[in-house]
Structure 1
Amino acid sequence: MSENGIPSFGAGTASNPRSVNDPSVRNVLSQAPSQRGQYHPSPSSWEDQQLYFLLPDRFSKGGEDGTLDLEGKQIPGDIRPFAQSDNGNAIKLPNDPKIWEESGIVFQGGTLKGIQSKVGYLKRLGASALWLGPIFKQVPNDDHLYHGYAVHDFLEIDPHFGTREDLRDLVKIAHDEGIYVILDIILNHSGDVFAYKGGEKQWNGNRFDVEGFRDSTGNPTLRFQPLDATNLPKNPKDCAIWPAELQSPNSFTREGAISNWDNWPEYIRGDFLSLKDLDLGSDAPDNFAPTSALQTLCEVYKYWIAYADLDGYRIDTVKHMGDGPTRHLCTTLHEFASLIGKENFFLVGEVTGGRAFDVVETTGLDAALGIGNVQEKLWNLPKGFADPAAYFDLFRNATYLKKGTNAWMRNKLVTMIDDHDQVWRGGSTKTRFCSDPEGNKLVLAALGLNLTTLGIPCIYYGTEQQFDGQGGSDRYIREAMFGGSFGAFRSKDRHFFNESNPVFQEVSKICEIRQQYAALRRGRQYLREISGNGKDFGIPRILGGRLTAIVAWSRIFADQEILCAINTDTEKPTEAFVTLDNGLHKNGEVLKCIYRSPTDEGVESRESVAVSRLNGKAVFLSVPAGGFVMYT
């Protein structure tokens, strides 16, 4: 028995540690500071990065024929590339649609080695930071846990994805190609590792009795206490929960599942559906005392930073952790990362509800995910269903402006048009941006808006291949990029790593330009007034059912202004006078076009525009239908 009351299981192995006190874990943590110079340094600023988010089970398993390696050479494989004739090839027979749909909620076969084989694809797209969905060992005997959020062993990689060595190899190759790696982690809950007496419970403010920990077959036959090292059950690593420190009953709140997701303290103390809530301590940040469970998880995640040379974490369900545990975690991880030379280790939180800004300020998170009204407006603005001001007013360049109401600095928010949850839609139909014909016509405008406005931009896997995500629930926006039995566009056995896709190619160009101009990454941001006649200027807004107009904005850094504009009209080019900064330009000065898409024949392409004395200063722009342009 150890000093903390946890049974001693003997020394685990480097590939299979059982406790945060195993020598293999302690050695990594103790030696890390002396190896400071060997770790990959943090970027100076995360707003300089372009993130790419993927679910490991749904991205790649390797063997995709005709894909390109790091040097751009074709790789042979047994999975053929998708062709338009393959659209719907999984639902041809009467019973096929049901089979295809049901396959969307089980493991498809993506691996860490598969992701490693696509580092060249990511680099050529323009991604400079890779965000991986969770990869830790899931509760055994449940094929529905492909998403990775039902952790059973926080010290082990799920065998569906590979090994801890595979993770380290992936990070090393990504670093060699200039790509940082951010890992999705969970602290709020574990998987369904125990059962309540009498069945599942709903939260009512009381603690419930527990039947027992689940054994390796999933039945709650084990006593709800740390496993006896002298009398271990069959297949112990598939039993209870690991590391061993979490087997204490005090690791769990045991108060049943949340029913009211906004009722305090229910959303802090309750289980996340069947996922069992871990007791991390009081949600109040002042005079906070971490629980043993939180201390254990902090050791776990320090270990993975040092072992795999990770660059950041995306922290799941921060709202349900509470500010106290989140602040303790952020302080602990930032200090450890700094100790080994990662001075800007990135901690981004999934903060649902309306407190995201306050949580970032209070806890020490570096940023929050813009998954609520930010994503909603970012999605609807290019499609003409949101006033431009509704999106741009969410951002401010000083924290004192609109504080507490989604006022964000440039590096405090991760923005994306697609993701794996779409929490802003609530219970309504969930689809990807390209789920309708208008989305396909406007996806470059949307990605241009995402990549060149304030925030840290992120592309969700498949958006660059125009996945539609049609179906109605989360499963349909989690298609297998490598095909499998649940490929995009209701297909199977066809991969989508098509670097000839015009959207892929144009995103690559936009990302390259973003890296060339600091204003697009760090500049102040201004929504610009426009005019059709050169006299009457104003911010465009919806008049009727849908906005069809030029939407223009400037990014200004020092004395450089870059003017960006999209056209929400998908049928025809649109022209307008667009306001510039009056003090930065002279009458007659010429701005050059640094990006224009699409470049259809018959549409006038203006390589340069002259500044005139209108509304202070302005230029006359012509933006292609559904297009995106940039001038400087």
Structure 2
Amino acid sequence: MHLTRHLLPIALLLAASLSAQDLRVEPPNWWTGMHDTTLQLLVHGAEVGALQVEVEAEGVAVTATHSADSPNYLFVDLAISPNAPAREIELRFTRNGRLVQSHAYPIQARARDPESFAGFTSADAIYLITPDRFANAVPENDSVAGMREGLVDRTAGFARHGGDLRGITDRLDYVADMGFTAVWPSPVLENDMPGWSYHGYAITDYYAVDPRFGTLKDYIDLAEAARERGIKLIMDQVVNHCGSGHWWMEDLPFSDWLNFQDNPEVTNHRRTVHQDPYAAEVDHELMIGGWFVPTMPDLNQRNPFLARYLIQHSIWWVETLGLGGVRQDTYPYPDADFLTEWSCRIMNEYPDFSIVGEEWSYEPAIVAYWQRGKENSDGYRSCLPSVMDFPQQAALIAALQEEEGWDRGLIKLYEALAMDFLYADPLSVMVFAENHDMDRLATQLDGDVAAIKMALTYLATVRGIPQFYYGSEVLLNNDGAPGDHGVIRADMPGGWADDAVSAFSGSGLSAEQREVQAYLRQLLRWRKDQAVIARGRTLHFAPQDGVYVYGRLDDDGGRVAVILNKNTSEVTLPLDRYRELFGSATTGETLDGEVHQLSGGLTVPARAATVLILR
């Protein structure tokens, strides 16, 4: 796909905005040939709710209009024939048959075949990035006149540091060289808030890139550059809440556009109300209706116009960027029936797409409830392909921290994996050791390089879709500031022109940093070509004497054994116990190419993870 094909939509958007400066129309454009041929426009302008709308265009018809509680909104239902020609149509706003205002609205041809929207899978390795803290390629956009938050301050964890979209694009060769096949930046849409705007989760315009991150063209360039390198772009979306600085907060369309609209209350965070057969309705309402924090108004997805708006917003970005996935923030906080509608609309439009939902619960039964294909006792179903495996994350850290007992804590990992019977599709679950909301891996494991390498090995070889957090490959940490998000989301070394240390070039890195970075690079490069890791079944053995053995097997004869040895001395395994995994294999080859003969047992090094390709 050539970049010039994406410049046309931008030009049309600019033309549309210039032709009707007093009207805001969202989505700002749409496409012909979509599976769902209906579209609902949100129109905002002075007294627009009293107007009628006409369209005279082949294949496009107005089927209904809806006024709101505010006179300054009108919702317009369009039907767009699958064969409607791509063109700029004219929306004619009239009163008593007389033209009051017209608006040029782009109906575009789809730039990609719908079947090309392949989402992330267990064959991928995902790199999570906080854009403001990754790389600053355009210092000129660090501060933007007229926005509520002022200059950058790299010494303050809560302030903006200047990272931007072009900074990510410029570092994609590094991402690809490390072996990552998908990149997930936290939200980059406009967050025009007076403070803490860098994180992106308080959106103030659902159709605008925050200018401190760049432009829509910069976002499209990132998507294109990623595709050229075989990297999928995942968009972090938020349908539960917006920022209190959102443009509509001064003139809400309906009296129920927000939950607790007149008297805001903060959510109780009791996420189990969805599954709890005994939950009181008052607790359920406060959970899904309460504001996440006082500066993030809670959106009422039970309002059908807002629900439609949010669904179309998600689809618009998938189509505009050619996304390889969506991560949905705070998944259990919106209305559950809306989440079904939202996920099913996206998956119906893009059957091979991927969405992962954040359910921060350490009970696998709670997490599994939301996944597609799960048979729940209350009958709830969704179309959500993937969920984030917080239970496995907690078990991994606990297993590597604990040193007491005959198994040295590894039973926690074994029993957590045994809970996979709860998931409809364990291969599609996202596994991770850390993210942007929790202490860095190096901090959780007290800087223990051997334990860190074991954690990275586990993520790269266990079932599911592995996600890694930027900078962990060079041991970024938040030591001395536990739980401090501003420190957890530290600047990537080398992302700023005056940085003395660079993760990208290797300049100034310590021996331990280089060791871990090289190790993860080796793991992920190897993983890319291992179908048995991507799709194979899992076999594991109860830990004994500080050793945990598990493997991945497939029907084509692929076999990989992984041995986690927490002992301070090397261990020789009695292979008869593990014959179900090792089978008739006579040798096992490590990632370094070292070949072990298996006839006389297998000796593995102390405090290490050993990966063996069995032959």
Could you state the TM-score of these two structures normalised by the residue count of structure 1? Answer: 0.69
Contact 1:12-1:22 within 8 A present in 2 as well: no
1:103 and 2:156 matched: yes
1:267 and 2:280 matched: no
Question: Residue 370 of structure 2 is aligned with which of 336, 359, 372?
Answer: 359
Contact 1:528-1:554 within 8 A present in 2 as well: no
Distance (whole Å) between structure 2 residues aligned to residue 115 and residue 14 of structure 1: 34
The letter for the 2-side match of 1:419 is N
User: Which residue of structure 1 aligns with residue 226 of structure 2?
Assistant: 174
For structure 1, which runs of at least 5 residues remain unmatched after alignment? Answer: 1-8, 65-98, 195-211, 215-221, 227-246, 282-289, 423-429, 530-538, 542-548, 597-604, 613-618
1:447-458 alignment, distance < 5 Å:
447-458=456-467
**Partner deviation per Cα, 1:315-349 (whole Å, 9 max, x = no partner):** 0111101321111111111122x2xxxx3111100
Contact 2:235-2:325 within 8 A present in 1 as well: yes
The letter for the 2-side match of 1:379 is I
1:410-559 alignment, distance < 5 Å:
410-422=426-438, 430-434=439-443, 437-470=446-479, 471-473=481-483, 474-482=485-493, 494-499=501-506, 501-528=514-541, 539-540=543-544, 549-558=546-555, 559=557
Q: Secondary structure at the match of 1:321?
A: coil
Contact 1:409-1:455 within 8 A present in 2 as well: no
Distance (whole Å) between structure 1 residues aligned to residue 319 and residue 442 of structure 2: 37
Distance (whole Å) between structure 1 residues aligned to residue 413 and residue 400 of structure 2: 10
Distance (whole Å) between structure 2 residues aligned to residue 143 and residue 26 of structure 1: 36
Distance (whole Å) between structure 2 residues aligned to residue 15 and residue 121 of structure 1: 43
Question: Residue 123 of structure 2 is aligned with which of 48, 58, 63?
Answer: 48
User: Which residue of structure 2 aligns with residue 153 of structure 1?
Assistant: 205
Question: Residue 591 of structure 1 is aligned with which of 587, 590, 593?
Answer: 587
Question: Residue 325 of structure 1 is aligned with which of 314, 317, 338?
Answer: 338
Distance (whole Å) between structure 1 residues aligned to residue 433 and residue 22 of structure 2: 39
Distance (whole Å) between structure 1 residues aligned to residue 505 and residue 22 of structure 2: 40
Question: Residue 410 of structure 2 is aligned with which of 378, 385, 388?
Answer: 388
Residue 590 of structure 1 and its aligned partner are, at CA, apart by 1.3
1:566 and 2:585 matched: no
User: Which residue of structure 2 aligns with residue 378 of structure 1?
Assistant: 396
Contact 2:564-2:608 within 8 A present in 1 as well: yes
Residue 608 of structure 1 and its aligned partner are, at CA, apart by 1.5
User: Which residue of structure 2 aligns with residue 250 of structure 1?
Assistant: 256
Contact 2:473-2:516 within 8 A present in 1 as well: yes
Which of the two has greater strand per residue?
Answer: 2
1:177-216 alignment, distance < 5 Å:
177-193=229-245
User: Which residue of structure 2 aligns with residue 128 of structure 1?
Assistant: 181
Distance (whole Å) between structure 1 residues aligned to residue 133 and residue 610 of structure 2: 30
Percent sequence identity is: 18
User: Which residue of structure 1 aligns with residue 572 of structure 2?
Assistant: 575
**Partner deviation per Cα, 1:62-86 (whole Å, 9 max, x = no partner):** 389xxxxxxxxxxxxxxxxxxxxxx
**Partner deviation per Cα, 1:176-220 (whole Å, 9 max, x = no partner):** 1000110100000011148xxxxxxxxxxxxxxxxx976xxxxxx
Contact 1:434-1:440 within 8 A present in 2 as well: no
Residue 364 of structure 1 and its aligned partner are, at CA, apart by 1.2
Closer/same/farther in 2, CA of residues 583 and 467 from structure 1, 3 Å limit = closer
Question: Residue 623 of structure 1 is aligned with which of 588, 591, 605?
Answer: 605
Distance (whole Å) between structure 2 residues aligned to residue 104 and residue 249 of structure 1: 37
Contact 2:117-2:322 within 8 A present in 1 as well: no
Q: Secondary structure at the match of 1:110?
A: coil
**Partner deviation per Cα, 1:495-529 (whole Å, 9 max, x = no partner):** 43245822222212211222222221211112235
Contact 1:17-1:25 within 8 A present in 2 as well: no
The letter for the 2-side match of 1:496 is A
Distance (whole Å) between structure 2 residues aligned to residue 516 and residue 311 of structure 1: 19
User: Which residue of structure 1 aligns with residue 41 of structure 2?
Assistant: none
Q: Secondary structure at the match of 1:256?
A: coil
Residue 584 of structure 1 and its aligned partner are, at CA, apart by 6.6
Question: Residue 369 of structure 1 is aligned with which of 388, 400, 411?
Answer: 388
Q: Secondary structure at the match of 2:456?
A: helix
Distance (whole Å) between structure 1 residues aligned to residue 23 and residue 566 of structure 2: 55
The letter for the 1-side match of 2:392 is V
User: Which residue of structure 2 aligns with residue 610 of structure 1?
Assistant: 598
- CA RMSD for the aligned pairs? 3.5
User: Which residue of structure 2 aligns with residue 276 of structure 1?
Assistant: 297
User: Which residue of structure 2 aligns with residue 315 of structure 1?
Assistant: 328
Distance (whole Å) between structure 2 residues aligned to residue 45 and residue 137 of structure 1: 26
Residue 53 of structure 1 and its aligned partner are, at CA, apart by 0.6
The letter for the 2-side match of 1:381 is A
Q: How many residues align?
A: 479
Closer/same/farther in 2, CA of residues 323 and 565 from structure 1, 3 Å limit = same
Contact 2:536-2:553 within 8 A present in 1 as well: yes
Residue 109 of structure 1 and its aligned partner are, at CA, apart by 0.6
Distance (whole Å) between structure 1 residues aligned to residue 450 and residue 581 of structure 2: 36
Could you state the TM-score of these two structures normalised by the residue count of structure 2? Answer: 0.70
The letter for the 1-side match of 2:345 is T
| Higher relative contact order structure (alpha carbons within 8 Å, sequence separation ≥ 6) | 1
Closer/same/farther in 2, CA of residues 48 and 306 from structure 1, 3 Å limit = same
Contact 2:565-2:609 within 8 A present in 1 as well: yes
Question: Residue 349 of structure 1 is aligned with which of 337, 351, 357?
Answer: 357
Q: Secondary structure at the match of 1:458?
A: strand
The letter for the 2-side match of 1:553 is Y
Distance (whole Å) between structure 1 residues aligned to residue 236 and residue 223 of structure 2: 14
Closer/same/farther in 2, CA of residues 44 and 261 from structure 1, 3 Å limit = closer
